[in-house]
Amino acid sequence: MMERNPVRRWTLAVLALCLVIFVYNLFADRLAPYTPQAVVQAYIAGIAPEVAGRVVEVNVADNQRVAAGQPLFRMDAEPYEIAVQQAEAKLAAVGQTIGASTAAVATAEAILAEARAQADNVREQTWRVLELVKKGTYATARADQANAQIKAAEANVQQAEAEVERARQNLGPRGQNNPQLREAMAVLQQARLNLVHTQVLAPADGLITNLQLTVGQYASPGQALMTFIDLGDYWVSAEFRENSLGNITPGDRAEIVFDVLPGRVFPAIVHNVGWGVARGGQTGPGGELPTIRNNSGWVRDPQRFPVRLSMATDAVPQGIRYNSQANAIVYADDNPFTRAIGWLWIRLVSVLTYAT
């Protein structure tokens, strides 16, 4: 009987194993895609004052958790308190001016009413004089005198009407529509708002990091003095190869392993799949596409796209940080074989994370 060649047997076994792995990878890349390029993301914002001033109190420390509405720092409020007092005084002065203008309008209207009444009386007397002149009771000169009186009375009425119009223009619209009053009220409202802005509060529950602030420092509007990380919405941005995206859809089940928490696997779901990335260079946080870093290799680097993985609020583990690295797998198909292999693989990765 011919003895079997062990070298040939092992060679065939290795080739068969390689073939199985190759075939599995062809299917797994589409049915249970895996990526070691995943990072923890959250909404971040630079905390900057809306008014200028000297910092007189810092209420937080670097890398401190804060609650929504918690004071972060306070600036010298005295200049803004003075501005409020000035605005209040201006509003009072405008009120007095409007009151005086209102009184002037009332006086002008009273004078106009008196002039009109006097003109009516002169007209009536003139009519009587003219009737008597026609009858020959009065001389013709009396008619001329009466006509002159009525013209003078009408001139007084016109002058009084002009004074009323001038007084009304000086007063402007009445009540809240008065432009002087509206301007004074707006100045006071802005002064009070600036005073409120001398104290900067946390916008939501989160964490303060990159604190660059001390008492005595002069702060300018829009100048970020610390970074705020919103802890209310964490997600994992997993960068999958382009040929792995074909079957990934929102709602697919996923699992994540965080480098900071080796040995543990966390459930997640696909929230959405990115539709574009930038090519090379750094990009800003808003209005631009995310830049993906591709690993180098002996073949052309595959393009990667971000897939957003969401975790339940109560499932977000303690200890993960913004931009913490992670491994992720998505179960994009119900095939039990690929699911089982993927399930085993991500748990093997969680154990190997101890050594990385």
For residue 340, what is the enclosing H or E element? helix 336-352
d(CA 262, CA 173): 73
Tell me if 322 sits within 8 A of 245, measured CB to CB.
Answer: no
pTM above 0.75, yes or no: no
Provide the angle, in degrees to the nearest 10, between the axes of the packed helices 78-135 and 140-171.
Answer: 170
Q: What's the confidence (pLDDT) of residue 44? A: 93
The number of beta carbons lying within 10 Å of the beta carbon of residue 10 is 10
Q: 124 by DSSP, 3-state: which?
A: helix
Nearest to 35 by CA among 346, 282, 352: 346
Tell me if 271 sits within 8 A of 310, measured CB to CB.
Answer: yes
Q: 171 by DSSP, 3-state: which?
A: helix
Q: What's the confidence (pLDDT) of residue 1? A: 43
Residue with tokens 């292999």: 341
Going by their DSSP bridges, the two strands 64-66 and 199-201 should be labelled as: unpaired
d(CA 356, CA 351): 10
pLDDT in tens, 76-104: 999 999 999 999 998 888 777 766 666 66
The residues near 119 (Cβ < 8 Å, ≥ 6 apart) are 150, 153, 154, 156, 157
Question: Residue 108 is which amino acid?
Answer: A
Q: What's the confidence (pLDDT) of residue 216? A: 94
CATH of span 53-76+202-219: 2.40.50.100
User: Residue 231 corresponds to which tokens in the numbers above?
Assistant: 């802890």
Q: What's the confidence (pLDDT) of residue 290? A: 67
| 87 class by beta-carbon count within 10 Å (0-12 exposed, 13-18 middle, 19+ buried) | buried
Q: What's the confidence (pLDDT) of residue 282? A: 47
d(CA 219, CA 224): 9
Tell me if 39 sits within 8 A of 347, measured CB to CB.
Answer: no
Which ranges of the chain have pLDDT less than 70?
1-5, 20-28, 98-105, 108, 129, 132-133, 135-140, 142-144, 168-177, 279-300, 313-315
Q: What's the confidence (pLDDT) of residue 160? A: 75
Q: What's the confidence (pLDDT) of residue 93? A: 83
Q: Which class is 29-42+232-355 in CATH?
A: mainly beta
pLDDT in tens, 121-133: 777 777 776 776 6
